[in-house]
Structure 1
């Protein structure tokens, strides 16, 4: 019996450069670099057919990583191994993601849904993905995120929404993810059609630490290739631990001034490469960034 090609997660590394165009001619950013290593694991057939194995048998298998990329899947596969820790469903035809699709995967830590057709996330009252750490929803059809009343991922640290047609981020949207360190919103439609783009308190957290203080975990934020005309204190003030801010290829960003970095004294990297509309930078803003190590303003 042929071994089924599986992928084992090796680690996540940020890369700000672009990669070749994907489906529909959209350039896909290299947000994941050396993420997988191909290995041969287990007695699974190379062309796995879920109907050929009973749910009971699948649930009992000990496979922890499953790679189902470019399989023309129109719905989330059922009867997956309960032991799964990493699942890659990239480049399929999935149109929605429901919490009931995931309730039997209690150990899942990495879920890659890149380059699908997902328009909605249907989350109910059932707790799911309590151990999920990495969620890649980039290059789908999402126009908004679900409310935090119906979605809470306590341990999520890495989230990509790049390439979705999101016009605005509402207040408290990311309070659903109290452990979030990395957020990619690049190539979205934020700020397009004169929308505000990011509402005040979009990154605010309701979760308190054991000492009763608000928790601030976000360290990396990518807003490259969006249509935001400015960085507003109303939302950046809720990112006091921000270390890296990417503003590459910003079509409408004309200036950096005011007290925008007053609350982000931990900023290490500010990347504004290829933002050709950027014509004014008030150097006084850098008095608030004593730890800045990399400032990129090419082109």
Structure 2
């Protein structure tokens, strides 16, 4: 049985703007089992990347709690926090922008060893070559620069660098969204293999439900700073309950002749987090909204074992 490597409780991040508050993340709670993947899906502006930065403590929370490996992340002294954070790494959306353009591929991957003062030059070089082989980047690229590699190769370099310190948790912030579909599959397969071989835990952020389906054990759907639905992957895909989840599934291409089960698409844009709807945050785009949805915020509750949803219609 898996144990929880990460526990997030009532996490909030509000940004002050023009005398108001932008509620980027507004009371999110979840746990992540060791060696598994939690997919977090939603449109741009829903707060997914803010959650990632809060977990890594790249930004300070407004309130809430994050426990990692049994330690309260926000209560640790700086020295202990530095040690703990070596077990948490991130893979970014744009592989080229995440690399140092003036450093060679070998030097890019070597940076975590240098920053943490690990090994001498020869030991670090050996480790870098091992990591390059692990992620499928030829050693011939050791002295090449990032602009000389394809997008897929650049992302493999980013993955190698994330693996350098043998982390237990990797946050993947839309790591394949900028890549061609065929390359996306290769990177996803690589991440799955690394997870199996190294017992890695992932938080996989995406805006496309199709991308997270096969890599995630559990999927959370996020809208305007809140989770609106969360369940085991098979349960979520076979029995979606929230209209927003159904609409996201509608957007997933299907190879079936009839296009699969028909769901209504959503229209319009996500409201501003500076002025969210008073009731259900999805009510302005939901064709099923009733008066209660416009005035009362739905409770995020467990409706089936392990299946949580925030919707008055359920």
Report the TM-score, using the length of structure 1 for normalisation: 0.33
Report the TM-score, using the length of structure 2 for normalisation: 0.32
- Going by fraction, where is strand more abundant, 1 or 2? 2
- Going by fraction, where is helix more abundant, 1 or 2? 2
* Larger RCO: 1 or 2 (CA < 8 Å, sep 6+): 2
